[in-house]
Amino acid sequence: MEKTEEDFYSLALVQIAELKTVKPELKEILEFYECTFNAQKKVQSSFQPDLSVSNNDLFRSRNSKGIPLLSPEDIKIDPHLLDKILRDIHQILRNKREEAIPATFNSSSLAEQHRLLIKGLMEDGSVLESLAGDLEIDYTIFYFLVNQALSPFIASYAEKLAEIADSNNWLRGYCPICGRESLIARLEEETGRRWLFCPLCHTEWLFKRLVCPFCENDDQESLRYFFAEGDEAHRIDVCDKCKRYIKTIDSRRMDNIMNLFVETLSTLALDIVADKEGFRGGDISLFRTEQA
């Protein structure tokens, strides 16, 4: 049976609860994302993607040309549902970083601009930078707010359209459905094939094993990896050409792989090491700032 988005959130919450006992040093940030996942799960369970006017041939044509399957115009969201999750995540952020988050927040006005927000996430990041400036909110925090609020909606579309996206033959460094770069990869247990994971719509797609997903550098002398002592299952793959990195989970060295988003949280120490070495990850996040 294929896993659904509901399974994604349920599994993530179970594994976060377990991880809090294994890595108590991460308890604070894990509880933060636990609250976020609960808010996302509630909204996702109430949302049904509108695919009534979808053109599957157009979707396939986009993918065949290397264009992500979804464009912002394809995604229809109930502003009331978006307003709810924006308010919920705003409050979660306030509880965590009250000094950095404005107490007053017009979530309903922002929700009405959902097409602009989606465009900012999927196509033009300067849109979110401009909105963050208008609202006088730190861009990293605003990006997190918008990303987490829209993720369950975009992931619901991705779940419905998964069969159309040619994830086995996409072989590009960005998501075949929404176009987002990956934060983390996994190596298959049996074959060692490399799959990238989208943090926005939760899609996985096959990618070349010995190539940088960000600049497509395949010069083996400038591609390397390192891992923490005693843990060869979790590693950082770095590219000396573009100075980017991606975390990789080697399923062949693990008894049970966690939800890949939770794996991203459980390996924050690797992000810190990569940052200190001058490498940049695949996405803006609160991960490193929370641990700094």
For position 285, what pLDDT does the model report?
Answer: 58
Residues 259, 264, 266, 268: what is their CA dihedral angle, to the nearest 10 degrees? 180
pLDDT top residue among 128 and 54: 128
Q: How confident is the model at residue 44 (pLDDT cuts 50, 70, 90)?
A: very high
- The pLDDT > 70 percentage for the chain reads 94
Which residue shows structure tokens 């979530």? 107
Query: Which residues lie across from 185 on neighbouring strands?
Result: 196, 248
Q: What average pLDDT score do residues 182-197 get?
A: 92
- Please provide residue 50's backbone torsions phi and psi, each rounded to the nearest 5 degrees: -90, 105
Residue 248: which residues within 8 A CB-CB, separation 6 or more? 184, 185, 186, 187, 194, 225, 234, 235, 236, 237
Per-residue pLDDT tens digits for 253-274: 877 767 899 999 888 888 888 9
CA atoms of 91 and 100, how far apart (whole Å): 12
Q: How confident is the model at residue 284 (pLDDT cuts 50, 70, 90)?
A: low
Q: How confident is the model at residue 1 (pLDDT cuts 50, 70, 90)?
A: very low
For the residues of 249-282, what is the DSSP string, one character each? Answer: EEGGG-SSPPPHHHHHHHTHHHHHHHHHTT-B-S
The CA-atom distances, in angstroms, between 254 and each of 37, 233, 249 are: 25, 6, 9
CA atoms of 72 and 75, how far apart (whole Å): 6
Q: Which two tokens stand for residue 212?
A: 């940088």
Residue 106 scores a pLDDT above 90 = no
Per-residue b or e along 145-170, where b marks 16 or more CB atoms closer than 10 Å to that residue's CB: bbbbbbbbbbbbbbbebbebbebeeb
CA atoms of 4 and 73, how far apart (whole Å): 24
Query: To which H or E segment does residue 235 belong?
Result: strand 234-239
Residue 291 scores a pLDDT above 60 = no
- Give the three-state DSSP class for 124: coil
Per-residue pLDDT tens digits for 199-256: 999 999 999 999 999 999 999 999 999 887 778 889 999 999 999 999 999 988 877 7
For position 253, what pLDDT does the model report?
Answer: 83
Are 265 and 287 in contact by the 8 Å Cβ rule? The answer is yes
Average per-residue pLDDT for the chain: 89
For position 282, what pLDDT does the model report?
Answer: 65
From 274, 167, 271, 173, select the one nearest 214 (Cα to Cα).
173
Amino acid occupying residue 149: A
pTM of full prediction above 0.95: no
Q: What average pLDDT score do residues 35-43 get?
A: 95
Q: Does domain 184-291 have CATH number 3.40.50.10540?
A: no
Residue 40 scores a pLDDT above 60 = yes
- The pLDDT > 90 percentage for the chain reads 65
**Structural domain boundaries in the chain:** 5-161, 184-291
For position 161, what pLDDT does the model report?
Answer: 93
